[in-house]
Structure 1
């Protein structure tokens, strides 16, 4: 069964690229650009723009909101978004995201709290000799020194390595959808609300003990070595860029299937725990007078436990626009 790819966390966790730069040495983040894409300044509508992601219209008690599946990494050519998306945003009174990635300090604090060891501790004390040897080999290949990441926990080191490799193939956090939406919302003078907090998002990784974190790291190092990290991440991003619902469904099942630590964490925590919480929060938003445009990681919208399905269970009329 294909292993979960750490970089795909970027489809679920709205990490701030600027905060990563502030919190992690320059040698580790040299390929990470700013959080807002230059393409966000482009006109909001353009002829013949392809459909991307997935868009839903949600109605209840005479009120309407929108759900849009985002990716937190991408290419500059992904913008502007499809006119139906930009019209839905224009018709909304507020933009709702997992996190407002323009706000850096809470993310920095959460990263230090959950991603770093206390002073005097090191990843070398928490990995078996075999795992440490694999990590050293991967760092050498990436052009990084162990001493530059030794203070970080295995889950964060795995994310750094896989993210760095994917960025070499042209996918950047600086071209994530959130930046485009935030810039558009600012131009339209809309309120911006968060579904979660940086502390909560990164605290999810604290549920992994040392043994699980080592396995999580090793699984992703193996995916880097055999090329799956690029193959699977690029495939999922491509499915988003073409609004390929069938392919997105297939990949979602692959990413959450099997008994690996990574797949189990994805299935039970990144999706299984967060989706009901997000659905409840969206319901509270819709009970107010706001017409909300909710942009959340693409795979939160997929399957019987996806947010559209959960809202239908709560009595909401959920129409898939595309």
Structure 2
């Protein structure tokens, strides 16, 4: 099971779920980036796009048109650092054309306390079970070795389910590898939208994304996912760094392969349901909303930023739009 869960355990947050960075996004913004500094940083990154084209991050960009409406589809990544900027000039140009920014969820509007409440309620045992019961002695100690280094002890996490603790370890792994949600592309464009007074549309709710994380995996599968994340932490986020290279290069084929592996290299019914809910089901819902944008009476332009795996491979947003008869054009 452990090996089969690799694609999900290491890459899921960066590629598909904006909610995985939401619990700290707003707090970090308050603590480290006053509004004027955040706007200045966004402006600096934008200006760099026009002066450093050779080093720019491509990401994945597509364009779909119907009547007078245009949708730019951009494959985001939910964590980052300053090295992933500037973005490709075509990406910046597509955003500049937009009347609306469309994201999975608007991280800037989330209340950190409400987020923590939802995550704690869905990620806490209510039946007397404990994390140590779920993991076994060795795996539990490996997990605690990491958490104790950041000031947590057994009493802080004993009532948490393995999937919830895997998100905690994931965040620590991301930071250890030199990345943060603060520098993710989602927040970059959300800050830009605030500066430009763009209308912001959310495709999902935080509760939607939490239901995917918490509603499908058995305890054994959750434990295996956590074990993978602990291993990735000790490997200093090697797979995450490789992922960042793929994203910066705009390697659609590599993203398609990752998606296929996450869907097909699995050996349990619960994980199959989880992977389907994480990608295929959500993509279907997103496409329905994108079609609404394309069919709107007003002639307007939408910049849709979603996790990159949503735009690559079979049953992705791009694949579904093509199946429905749309001409999806590459933007880079």
Instruction: Tell me if the contact between 2:71 and 2:293 (Cα under 8 Å) persists in the aligned partners.
Output: no
CA distance in 1, matches of 2:286, 2:143: 35
Q: How does 1:186-197 map to 2 (within 5 A)?
A: 186-197=194-205
How far off its partner does 1:309 sit?
0.8
Structure 1 unaligned residues grouped into runs of 5+:
24-28
Q: How does 1:1-322 map to 2 (within 5 A)?
A: 3-10=6-13, 11-15=15-19, 17=21, 19-20=23-24, 38=38, 39-42=41-44, 44-45=46-47, 46-49=50-53, 50-105=56-111, 106-118=114-126, 122-140=130-148, 144-204=152-212, 205-225=214-234, 227=235, 230-259=237-266, 264=272, 267-288=275-296, 289=298, 290-322=300-332
- Identify the range of structure 1 (75-84 vs 43-52) with the bigger mean alpha-carbon deviation: 43-52
Identify if the C-alpha distance between structure 1 residues 190 and 100 changes in structure 2 by more than 3 Å, giving closer, same or farther: same
Identify if the C-alpha distance between structure 1 residues 240 and 126 changes in structure 2 by more than 3 Å, giving closer, same or farther: same
Q: TM-score, normalised by structure 1?
A: 0.84
Instruction: Tell me if the contact between 1:58 and 1:316 (Cα under 8 Å) persists in the aligned partners.
Output: yes
RMSD: 3.1
Partner deviation per Cα, 1:95-154 (whole Å, 9 max, x = no partner): 000000012225334323322344976423444445434433444566642223223221
Instruction: Tell me if the contact between 2:176 and 2:237 (Cα under 8 Å) persists in the aligned partners.
Output: no
3-state DSSP of counterpart to 1:300: helix
Partner deviation per Cα, 1:226-248 (whole Å, 9 max, x = no partner): x2x72211111111112223333
Instruction: Tell me if the contact between 1:12 and 1:297 (Cα under 8 Å) persists in the aligned partners.
Output: yes
CA distance in 2, matches of 1:43, 1:215: 39
Identify if the C-alpha distance between structure 1 residues 118 and 202 changes in structure 2 by more than 3 Å, giving closer, same or farther: same
Partner deviation per Cα, 1:155-199 (whole Å, 9 max, x = no partner): 121121132123112111110001110111122211000000000
CA distance in 2, matches of 1:230, 1:62: 44
How far off its partner does 1:76 sit?
1.6
CA distance in 2, matches of 1:281, 1:180: 23
Q: TM-score, normalised by structure 2?
A: 0.82
CA distance in 2, matches of 1:48, 1:197: 36
Instruction: Tell me if the contact between 1:34 and 1:174 (Cα under 8 Å) persists in the aligned partners.
Output: no
Structure 2 unaligned residues grouped into runs of 5+:
none
3-state DSSP of counterpart to 2:107: coil
Identify if the C-alpha distance between structure 1 residues 113 and 143 changes in structure 2 by more than 3 Å, giving closer, same or farther: closer
Instruction: Tell me if the contact between 1:44 and 1:184 (Cα under 8 Å) persists in the aligned partners.
Output: no
- Identify the range of structure 1 (189-198 vs 102-111) with the bigger mean alpha-carbon deviation: 102-111
Instruction: Tell me if the contact between 2:216 and 2:274 (Cα under 8 Å) persists in the aligned partners.
Output: no
- Identify the range of structure 1 (14-23 vs 287-296) with the bigger mean alpha-carbon deviation: 14-23
Instruction: Tell me if the contact between 1:97 and 1:294 (Cα under 8 Å) persists in the aligned partners.
Output: yes
CA distance in 1, matches of 2:266, 2:153: 31
Give the structure with the larger helix fraction: 2
How many residue pairs get matched?
313
3-state DSSP of counterpart to 1:207: coil
Partner deviation per Cα, 1:273-318 (whole Å, 9 max, x = no partner): 2111111121122222242110000011011211011011112111
